[in-house]
Structure 1
């Protein structure tokens, strides 16, 4: 987007936190408003917590937390007469997630007597339409995935497309004061208004990347969000909390976060290049960045995310403090797997192909496994057994077969029967359907907004 000859000299972006519902101190928002923002932008979701939330269309945040944050931000946006943008609503950006957040916003505005125009942007995709795009050769795999198969699309419970900044700009230009969107790139939320107002793409996208997680680019992320001031030559980042600090190191380091390349990051419209960026301390808490570039793509693409059911899970967790078992815990875990497999075959008539087992030894290589630099014998171990099967009944039956083994299984040479402790009663906890991400593909589009639907709702006010 070329710079505007009539636009503002700079644009301010208030990023209150890394995620709606994560919480922030109200006084940080007050200070942010004093800095003169042109937009409040906050992410509403993430894939960090796995595929369950996309698979089910259920948020990982509680309604009370989202309502609390929205109440503060809606009042702030109304006071400053600036847009409030929330992306990836309901964690995964499904249509139901957008409607869930919109319902909360409507109740909050009615309670506070606010009258604001709200736009919902839906990003959920139909498998049938995507199959047509696939057949036309417009769907491409991202590494390490291979070519997409039509049946993979059909197996997904939910599929979303990841929008860039363009749908936000369109909604705001059509009069929206609050934009609640489905799945979006984290950066698009903060980049939309600066780009719309004529700020150059290089500094804008780089600033948006730095503020995407709120205070993550500060020396104390616990103290709240940040404020970005973008101009035609670069941008300035400062914390919203007056006691917090941004340093050149803390700001530059955020390009390492969730990126395959710390110098280049792809957006639907092109690629941010920060290889020549410079980071300078303006004072003891503010940092200025210059030299960022943005390379427009020859083809605009929309990334797809999809999740499907892989089976049903039941989990058991027991704790081991027996010193002899702990010293030989790897042998014990291997024995548990062998004996459990045999007993499941004998009692349930199931083979290895009928279910899956995952045995995790917390306190002993459960996280790093074989690359743990300190694999010495533990003093105590938490044993997690996770069973996956085509039905919940089968998963639970396998876990029940494991019950006596996870309570008393001795090593072959032991002259006594050890006792362990289950963390819960009943020992078996049914987790329900388990999901996996199965899409890591992009779709070529002719228009940046073509895969998304913008719905403007009525103004909301106290009756």
Structure 2
């Protein structure tokens, strides 16, 4: 019997079509699997241990999935819960689950798979030679590891299988690879290993592998020789092109995908349209290797204050780069004289929205904007210093003249005060893998009954 996996969306909190979900449930899946996050939005979620997505949106969608799970009578699993998969966000997701179970009158066995690592654990592994850098990777030491606010290891299929084996109806996993929650059950049932990992890669973002990416819901059937993928929305079609193209998504090599315990090779994969909606894939290979798990870590890199002004006058809009270059030089000298801060003890960066807001000095296209937004970003060792610099530069950002012989300008600003204290700035500080002697060595499982 094939193993049927229902994937409602690429991530919980982004939305999915409810009619398509109902169609998927009617196909009697063996498991419902969804991702809960990624590193796409930068290091803040991991650094702060917070979800990127609103609790209300998460709860609303999770409610639908808990109802779908009850109707299908199968496990529901989420990986990388709360965007970053830290222990705090696993517990955040557990609280939402327990709350919904009470509201829905459901009694549930919930397994929590924890992925967070202590600095001491990783330091010991470093001393034992079990930490291997990827490319590029920052230098790490016991001191840098101790400075990290959160470290997580990316679980693979084996850890999800251990959670499934508890008999839990719902599994809330910490940081996992995007494919692990989908590949786990097909692998446990003895389906083709290459197909399990390849199909999981194709399905990781839901209907992104179809002609209607925002519809969310897909179903994948795994068996002993390959997999078949079908989108559930009536306007979403899976084609050989849309399916094969997803190997390029977030992957440096369109043929190789590394996972804990080996890698997927799709060089010989064949994509065949079974009809207008379904694609069959065979020929994928799984190559076993060392059992390593990727590590992610984040730490505070400073504290920020921002300031925003808008250049509307044609003279200033046309010469915005010249103006901001002159302003930056003036402000560096002013901060040094008035606050006694050396330029290398903080950073002051200006981005011109409409000119080079995305690329900064790398921008090579020019135009004639009607107005230019000036975003100033102050980064300093403490929030107090960043805020003080922001207040010091405030009047100059709003009134600094381009030339000495013109009237003092006044620029627009969209809110008052013009400065905003952003708090901690986080940076990724690990790009390494950790060698494990046992897949559960770096992970912990807790099983709890919740609900009515």
TM range, smaller chain? over 0.9
Q: Which residue of 2 aligns with 1:167?
A: 159
1:286 correspondence with 2:265: no
Q: Which residue among 401, 407, 410 is the counterpart of 2:392?
A: 401
CA displacement at 1:61 relative to structure 2: 1.2
What does the per-residue CA deviation read over 1:195-242, in whole Å, with 9 as the maximum and x for residues that have no partner? 111111111111111111112112221222211111222111111211
1:306 correspondence with 2:263: no
CA displacement at 1:439 relative to structure 2: 0.6
Show the 5 A alignment for 1:21-420.
21-297=13-289, 299-372=290-363, 374-412=365-403, 415-420=406-411
Please report the RMSD computed on the Cα atoms of aligned residues, expressed in angstroms.
Answer: 1.4
CA displacement at 1:174 relative to structure 2: 2.0
Answer yes or no: is the 8 Å Cα contact 2:191–2:225 preserved in 1. Answer: no
How far apart in 1 are the matches of 2:273 and 2:408? 64
How far apart in 2 are the matches of 1:300 and 1:137? 14
Q: Which residue of 1 aligns with 2:451?
A: 461
What does the per-residue CA deviation read over 1:364-406, in whole Å, with 9 as the maximum and x for residues that have no partner? 1222345545323432211111101111111011112221222
CA displacement at 1:104 relative to structure 2: 0.5
Answer yes or no: is the 8 Å Cα contact 1:78–1:116 preserved in 2. Answer: no
Q: Which residue among 403, 415, 427 is the counterpart of 1:436?
A: 427
What does the per-residue CA deviation read over 1:252-273, in whole Å, with 9 as the maximum and x for residues that have no partner? 1111111111110100111111
What does the per-residue CA deviation read over 1:29-67, in whole Å, with 9 as the maximum and x for residues that have no partner? 110012221111011111111111111111111111111
Answer yes or no: is the 8 Å Cα contact 1:140–1:147 preserved in 2. Answer: no
Answer yes or no: is the 8 Å Cα contact 1:140–1:148 preserved in 2. Answer: no
What does the per-residue CA deviation read over 1:390-427, in whole Å, with 9 as the maximum and x for residues that have no partner? 11111011112221222122212662333211121111
Aligned length: 452
How far apart in 1 are the matches of 2:389 and 2:253? 43
How far apart in 2 are the matches of 1:377 and 1:350? 37
What does the per-residue CA deviation read over 1:119-176, in whole Å, with 9 as the maximum and x for residues that have no partner? 0001111111211111111111111115432211111011111110111111111211
How far apart in 2 are the matches of 1:410 and 1:166? 63
TM-score (norm 2): 0.97
Answer yes or no: is the 8 Å Cα contact 1:141–1:148 preserved in 2. Answer: no
Q: Give runs of ≥4 in structure 1 deviating > 2 Å.
A: 368-379, 413-419
